[in-house]
Amino acid sequence: MAPTRVCFVCLGNICRSPTAEAVMRHRLQFHDLGVHVEVESAGTGDWHVGHPPDERAREEATRRGITMESVAQQFTEADFDRFDLILAMDSANLEALRRIAPSAEAASKVQMLREFDPLANGDLDVPDPYFGGSQGFVEVFDMVDRSVVGLLDHIGSTRANG
């Protein structure tokens, strides 16, 4: 069975989606799905293309024993073919992705990451921490980590049911 290809998408690809990518890669190291899931992240904007993750995101990841190694890239129309699941961090990212989706099938690959957060309680946005303080990065990390656990369960059951 082909690997499930996942892309996390935020605005700049230096804070939220690279955190999700790093958390997912970390958890996959200890998970049955290990080699069956491929992970990337991207931004809907191009301002930070080629940049490493934000230092504050890297610091929070390091505090939790996780290294972030991604390089920012922009999500483009052609990427809809490269992924099976495209996880938006907030509703603006979701709208931006839907706008550039070349087909209904492509658009149907896009979901909100926090649909997999058991504590989301109706609020599906991972708030943008870029213009705030370090506490925002702690909250982002917690939300993303809970969501990634739920996402792994989802991918596991989807693959098991064909």
Residues that bind ligand 4NP (CB under 6 A): 10-16, 43, 47, 128, 130
The candidate with the shortest Cα–Cα distance to 17, out of 105, 96, 107, is 96
Residue in the shown chain whose Cβ atom is closest to ligand 4NP: 12
Of 47 and 98, CB closest to ligand 4NP? 47
Q: Cβ distance 57 to 14 under 8 Å?
A: yes
- Rounded to the nearest 10°, the torsion over CA 162, 111, 34, 17 is 170
Nearest-angstrom CA–CA distance, 63 and 154: 27
Of 125 and 155, CB closest to ligand 4NP? 125
Q: Maximum distance among all alpha carbons in the chain? A: 43
Q: How far is the CB of 16 from ligand 4NP (least distance, A)?
A: 3
Indicate which residue of 10, 15, 90, 145 is catalytic. 10
- Rounded to the nearest 10°, the torsion over CA 20, 89, 81, 157 is 70
Indicate which residue of 7, 15, 16, 27 is catalytic. 16
159 in active site: no
16 in active site: yes
Of 45 and 150, CB closest to ligand 4NP? 45
Of 12 and 117, CB closest to ligand 4NP? 12
Q: Any residues with CB less than 8 A from the CB of 161 and at least 6 apart, and which?
A: none
Q: How far is the CB of 75 from ligand 4NP (least distance, A)?
A: 11
Indicate which residue of 58, 128, 145, 146 is catalytic. 128
123 in active site: no
Catalytically annotated residues:
10, 16, 128
